[in-house]
């Protein structure tokens, strides 16, 4: 008969393996769920409670190859992000063969999807759920930099810097939102590039200083995302709640 000690040891080994797999998988995500929800709610999105759904989609093996590349851009050359770079990514939206990722193009692609569905009279809010998520990922520094050892080791921790208090500070985020005017796709591309550039520069700074973000730095970033997404809602004719 197998001893209790052996059964316990085997059970702990299995649990350790599961936890390792879970946390390794979690390292590939953007802000954790409550941070995404706080960004979307602060922006005034009616369906803010769905803002974490794209990560759920990405967790399914059958959808991962297509969806995961929409959540980041591995800026391997550490190039300044420009509106032209954003527009060059649009045609790569939802393409699994793009190893660099195309977060910037995914934001515009989801806006186009919303407009297309809305113009046809169909229910169109789901593309905005994805857009809310992508706009959140945009301000996360490690989604805008090379996926090197520093990124891999610190990604999960930085995703969750404000996870425990984000939903308690929605009022602060709302009061800190600043006005962005988007009247064309060119304006949108320029604003995406601007927010991405703040993230890239912060990513470079924390990498140089070999540290994680502070809470203050993190809130500054999510305020950029909330401000951008509120402007997108207005741009597509969805008045923020």
User: Which tens digit of pLDDT belongs to each residue from 96-155?
Assistant: 999 999 999 999 999 999 999 999 999 999 999 999 999 999 999 999 999 999 999 999
Is residue 5, in this structure, part of any structural domain at all?
no
Residues 164, 140: contact at Cβ < 8 Å? no
The residue range of the domain holding 47 is: 30-235
Is residue 25, in this structure, part of any structural domain at all?
no
Residues 195, 138: contact at Cβ < 8 Å? yes
Per-residue pLDDT tens over the stretch 198-233:
999 999 999 999 999 999 999 999 999 999 999 999
Is residue 8, in this structure, part of any structural domain at all?
no
Is residue 160, in this structure, part of any structural domain at all?
yes
Is residue 17, in this structure, part of any structural domain at all?
no
Is residue 210, in this structure, part of any structural domain at all?
yes
* Helix (H), strand (E) at residue 88: helix 83-89
| Tokens describing residue 133 | 């998520």
**C-alpha 54 chain-centroid distance:** 9
**pTM value?**
0.88
Residues 78, 193: contact at Cβ < 8 Å? no
**Is residue 16 classed exposed, middle or buried when 0-12, 13-18 and 19+ CB atoms within 10 A define those classes?**
exposed
Closest to 101 measured CA to CA, from 130, 70, 79, 144: 70
Is residue 11, in this structure, part of any structural domain at all?
no
Provide the domain count of the chain: 1
CATH number of the domain within which 222 lies = 1.10.575.10
Is residue 12, in this structure, part of any structural domain at all?
no
């Amino acid at each position: 008969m197998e001893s209790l000690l052996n059964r316990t040891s085997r059970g702990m080994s299995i649990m350790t393996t599961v936890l390792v797999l879970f946390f390794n998988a979690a390292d590939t995500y953007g802000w954790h769920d409550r941070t995404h929800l706080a960004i979307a709610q602060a922006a005034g999105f009616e369906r803010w409670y769905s803002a974490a759904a794209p990560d759920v989609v990405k967790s399914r093996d059958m959808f991962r190859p297509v969806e995961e590349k929409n959540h980041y851009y591995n800026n391997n050359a550490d190039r300044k992000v420009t509106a032209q770079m954003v527009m060059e990514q649009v045609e790569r939206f939802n393409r699994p063969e793009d190893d660099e990722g195309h977060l910037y193009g995914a934001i515009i692609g989801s806006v186009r999807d919303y407009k297309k569905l809305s113009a046809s009279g169909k229910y169109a809010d789901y593309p905005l759920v994805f857009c809310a998520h992508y706009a959140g990922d945009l301000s996360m520094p490690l989604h805008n930099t090379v996926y090197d050892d520093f990124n891999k080791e610190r990604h999960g921790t930085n995703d969750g810097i404000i996870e425990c208090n984000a939903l308690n500070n929605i009022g602060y985020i709302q009061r800190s939102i600043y006005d962005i005017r988007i009247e064309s796709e060119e304006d949108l591309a320029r604003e995406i590039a601007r927010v991405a550039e703040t993230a890239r520069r912060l990513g470079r700074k924390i990498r140089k200083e070999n540290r994680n973000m502070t809470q203050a730095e993190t809130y500054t970033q999510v305020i950029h995302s909330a401000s951008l997404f509120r402007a997108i809602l207005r741009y597509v004719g969805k008045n923020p709640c």
